[in-house]
Structure 1
Amino acid sequence: MLQQYSSSVSNSCSRDSHLCSVFLHSWGLKELQVATFNFNPLRPKPFCDRPSTSMSFCCVCIHENHHRSPRVRRRKPLPQNVDLPTQWPKKKKKPYPIPFKKIKEAGRADKKLAEKGIEKPLEPPKNGLLVPSLVPVAYKVLNAWKLLIKGVAKLLHVVPVYACSICPEVHVGQAGNQIQDCNGTGNVLRRSFHKWMKGSVSDILVPIESYHMYDPFGRRIKHETRFKYDRIPALVELCIQAGVEIPEYPSRRRSKAVRMIGRKMIDLGGFVDEPKICRSGDALAELDTYRCYSEQGNTPPASASDVRQVAEDTLEAYEEVRSGVATLMKKYTVKACGYCPEVHVGPCGHNVKLCGAFKHQWRDGKHGWQDATVDEVFPPNYVWHVKEVGGSPLRGSLRRFYGKAPAVVELCVQAGAKIPAKYKPMMRRDIVIPDGEEASLVA
């Protein structure tokens, strides 16, 4: 009789659970989880004890995933004001872009492989081969660089640019600022006022040059052989090593990978001398800010109706160059000195002893090479932002209310281009600049 009772109860429980599932499906709830708890009527115990095999009771857990609203990712609002990146003092070494702990770990791993005689695994372009997917990126960067130089040269006819003849300060506006922050020679006699002169393209686009090498994995450049190599913009040299073909500046294209054990190359494919090419003076006419566009007269000015379009195109080219350089530097090695602005494109830095920065006597003039950043290869060159183009010059007493922006961005904005959203907090557009009498009352 007891067996008949237990079987009837279990059958009714299973039937009820089935009806419950059908009822819930009618609500549109598709995911159900049924948990059974065993209970013995002859031994009444709480559910927390170990269950025994007898009657089963059903418990249904409902997941309302069907009616759950989709997630909406809210973008974080841009901050109102952003300070500029801190300038590292000249009497200290720049921090490593990659933590030094990771550099040491990678060195230990290479040393262990070298002790065992195992070849170091290398992937393109670390083994000397090109990365096919980055060749179009290199051409895009080089074309954008040409447009950027031409656009800046045209805008200099519309927006005046001033450069200090003593320090590297640059100002974009109708008149030079009156901020007393000149640290050049004789600044005490001038009370740190700048000595402004007419600026050029090289003042807007800071020229960063490096040695051009036919074979980056070949012989290292020594101090005695430095005059055998040409100096070209580091950005152009990066594009050449990434696959751009310039007849005046050829580069060795390997078909066989370089092999290494630790830091020693065991298969380099032999040393190859650079082919002799007669370079004309116009080889870098469109790629160098010094040779072709150092003066405004070399480039015809833009018409009044096209000024805004030229400013928009120049700003777009600037962003393309910056993003493209960042993409190439993720794969191709670029070294920078930790003390001075010297940059070298290649797997290892050169041995030219021309570093005159902090404690260069201890290093015999050699550079302290480390991995480079995008700002070291393509520096933004921040300048003070002018809200009112035709207003009064910027004053040093109100400098905490002024913002800054890259020189190219400031030049294009004053020429009529739209301000990009990521530069607005840096320009401090939302801050109202007080008058001279009100500045002393502001906390």
Structure 2
Amino acid sequence: MSRTELRTTVSRGSAEETGVDEIEGDGGDIFTSSNGGHYFAEGQLMEIKETFEVLHYVRQKLSRLILYFQDQLSLDKSKANSILRPEILCGGYGRTNHHRRVKKHEMLPQNVDLPPVLPKKKKKPFPIPLKKIVEAAREDKKLAQMGIEKHLEPPKNGILVPSLIPVAYDVLDAWKVLISGLAQLLHVVPVHACRYCIEPECTKISHKIYIALGVTFLCFSCSECSEIHVAQIGHKIQDCHGSTSGSRRNYHSWIKGSINDVLTPIESYHMYDPYGRRIKHETRFSYDRIPAVVELCIQAGIELPEYPSRRRTEPIRMLGKKVIDIGGYVDEPKPFQPGSPGSQIVELDTYRALERFPPPLEEEVPMVAQATINAYEKVRWGVTKLMRKYSVKACGYCSEVHVGPWGHNAKLCGEFKHQWRDGKHGWQDATVDEVFPPNYVWHMEDPKGPPLKSTLKRFYGKVPAVVEVCAQAGAHVPNKYKPMMRADIVVPEDREAPFVA
């Protein structure tokens, strides 16, 4: 039978109802749509119609349920829709893309300003808003009044987080590479630090006495600031704020810098049990002070024979702010003596690092610089990840840091209004910059060029000191630091600076 013989027509009413103009096939079982190119069997068309009728019925029922939730539970329409999730009940009809991750290309700005320098005569801002801290304290107090124990997740309950143990080992390995790399690069890259010493007036009698004894006696009054500069010569920017900077018109007095000037040493007390007895002012000398990054890694699961740490198998229990069960107090084991055979603690400290690591060969300098900047990024990434789980406290007035759930009671704070606090620290949650400070320095496009000037200060950029040292040694700088460097800005001459917008 030919194609034309099989073709039949459909009544106008059925065509308007179904949106189909023609049918063709054996017995009229194939339908041709009006737009052409789409064919449906008669049985399939009936199933489609029934499916749409069912969906329409379900949609009406869902609308009634939404109205019920609005009236009975006093919910707005958006919350009622979120409870019912009609797109799931309808087999994915109208599914949203809220849970689909879309990776967007991050556009870096052209220039980035550094974080503002906080005033010393004021307390640091809280990293967590004070309103949230008060709300959490009220909830804990309410549970304590009801006699309900506070629910603690690892590591808040004293148990390690297994997934963060490899991160701690990676951070410690990168910390060793960072110290060794910086010590080698400082033999090649010049670093200047600001130190200024003067000889005050002494009485003639004291001079005569000590000269007669054959001893040279000098009373030094040192004015120090944390400014360092990575170049052949120091800059001439007048931003020194030392106690004797007025006599020098705020110019720096440069001397050769060390690794502690580039990598700011932030130390913390090592505790065998962070949840045990607190450190008192009288017992502070019974505890060793080690880098805060190393102490954070130890509490995250690293085993060092020199600095053991208690590993719990049973969680601690708290009722409000009171610890009701910590598994009892345990005597701390005696650590290894410094310099004992097999001790690796020397590699974790910057003490005399320039003497321990010789200068690299000329062709190896870029490779050492790249490994150093990669280690710096690894340490910063790992510290950020560990601090999301493990508690680290910092003083709101000074640079003291303590790794643990609570701060110590040593009265060593000498900053703003310390007399009112009897020298005690004002503990609050620490930030990454307080545990691993970046120590920003001025960026030099040409380290051998002329020194930087105060009149052109707004055209210069700043980067962390480690990044600047590695960049001048030939390392590739990550893209996130390039807006800080302001490398695309042309520095004008002195006479052109007032005319630049």
Please, what TM-score do these two structures have when normalized by structure 2? 0.76
- Residue aligned with 2:457, SS: helix
- Cross-structure match for 1:285: 346
Residue 238 of structure 2 contacts residue 252 of structure 2 at CA under 8 Å; is this kept in 1?
yes
- Given the alignment, which residue of 432, 448, 452 partners 1:390? 448
How do 1:405-416 and structure 2 match up within 5 A? Answer: 405-416=463-474
- 1:176-215 CA distances to partner (integer Å, 9 max, x unpaired)? 1111111112111111111111111111100000000000
Bigger share in helix: 2
- In the alignment, does 2:71 pair up with 1:13? no
- Cross-structure match for 2:158: 128
- Cross-structure match for 1:254: 312
- In the alignment, does 2:361 pair up with 1:332? no
How do 1:274-353 and structure 2 match up within 5 A? Answer: 274-281=332-339, 284-289=345-350, 291-293=351-353, 296-353=354-411
- Residue aligned with 1:167, SS: strand
User: Within 1, Cα distance between the matches of 2:188 and 2:425?
Assistant: 41
Aligned amino acid, residue 284 of structure 1: I
Alpha carbons of structure 1 residues 437 and 114: separation in structure 2 relative to 1, 3 Å: same
1:391 Cα deviation (Å)? 0.6
- Which 5+ residue runs of structure 2 have no aligned equivalent? 1-10, 23-30, 40-47, 54-92, 96-100, 196-223
Alpha carbons of structure 1 residues 16 and 183: separation in structure 2 relative to 1, 3 Å: closer
Residue 178 of structure 1 contacts residue 393 of structure 1 at CA under 8 Å; is this kept in 2?
yes
User: Within 1, Cα distance between the matches of 2:254 and 2:175?
Assistant: 28
Residue 181 of structure 2 contacts residue 368 of structure 2 at CA under 8 Å; is this kept in 1?
yes
- In the alignment, does 2:177 pair up with 1:147? yes
Residue 315 of structure 1 contacts residue 409 of structure 1 at CA under 8 Å; is this kept in 2?
yes
Residue 286 of structure 1 contacts residue 292 of structure 1 at CA under 8 Å; is this kept in 2?
no
Aligned amino acid, residue 138 of structure 2: R
Identity of aligned residues (%): 63
Alpha carbons of structure 1 residues 269 and 179: separation in structure 2 relative to 1, 3 Å: same
User: Within 1, Cα distance between the matches of 2:21 and 2:337?
Assistant: 87
1:175 Cα deviation (Å)? 0.7
- Cross-structure match for 2:239: 181
Alpha carbons of structure 1 residues 319 and 24: separation in structure 2 relative to 1, 3 Å: farther
User: Within 2, Cα distance between the matches of 1:21 and 1:360?
Assistant: 89
- In the alignment, does 2:159 pair up with 1:159? no
User: Within 2, Cα distance between the matches of 1:23 and 1:416?
Assistant: 69
- Which 5+ residue runs of structure 1 have no aligned equivalent? 1-7, 37-62, 66-70
- 1:269-296 CA distances to partner (integer Å, 9 max, x unpaired)? 000111113321465211111x231xx3
User: Within 2, Cα distance between the matches of 1:381 and 1:344?
Assistant: 20
How do 1:23-422 and structure 2 match up within 5 A? Answer: 26=37, 75-165=105-195, 166-281=224-339, 284-289=345-350, 291-293=351-353, 296-422=354-480
- Residue aligned with 2:226, SS: coil
1:419 Cα deviation (Å)? 1.9
Aligned amino acid, residue 330 of structure 1: R
- Cross-structure match for 1:424: 482
Alpha carbons of structure 1 residues 177 and 118: separation in structure 2 relative to 1, 3 Å: same
User: Within 2, Cα distance between the matches of 1:127 and 1:367?
Assistant: 25
Residue 311 of structure 1 contacts residue 412 of structure 1 at CA under 8 Å; is this kept in 2?
yes
- 1:136-165 CA distances to partner (integer Å, 9 max, x unpaired)? 000000000000000000101111001111
Alpha carbons of structure 1 residues 114 and 174: separation in structure 2 relative to 1, 3 Å: same
1:298 Cα deviation (Å)? 2.8
User: Within 2, Cα distance between the matches of 1:283 and 1:72?
Assistant: 45
1:27 Cα deviation (Å)? 6.6
Residue 15 of structure 2 contacts residue 21 of structure 2 at CA under 8 Å; is this kept in 1?
no
Aligned amino acid, residue 16 of structure 1: G
Alpha carbons of structure 1 residues 330 and 72: separation in structure 2 relative to 1, 3 Å: closer
User: Within 2, Cα distance between the matches of 1:227 and 1:402?
Assistant: 44
1:266 Cα deviation (Å)? 1.2
User: Within 2, Cα distance between the matches of 1:17 and 1:372?
Assistant: 70
Please, what TM-score do these two structures have when normalized by structure 1? 0.85
1:440 Cα deviation (Å)? 3.2
Output the aligned Cα RMSD: 2.4
1:396 Cα deviation (Å)? 1.1
- Cross-structure match for 1:3: none
User: Within 2, Cα distance between the matches of 1:416 and 1:25?
Assistant: 66
Aligned amino acid, residue 285 of structure 1: V
What count of residue pairs does the alignment treat as equivalent? 398
Residue 240 of structure 1 contacts residue 251 of structure 1 at CA under 8 Å; is this kept in 2?
yes
Residue 214 of structure 1 contacts residue 251 of structure 1 at CA under 8 Å; is this kept in 2?
yes
Alpha carbons of structure 1 residues 434 and 15: separation in structure 2 relative to 1, 3 Å: closer
1:441 Cα deviation (Å)? 3.0
- 1:62-83 CA distances to partner (integer Å, 9 max, x unpaired)? x9x9xxxxx9965243111111
User: Within 2, Cα distance between the matches of 1:234 and 1:430?
Assistant: 37
1:299 Cα deviation (Å)? 1.3
Residue 285 of structure 1 contacts residue 292 of structure 1 at CA under 8 Å; is this kept in 2?
no
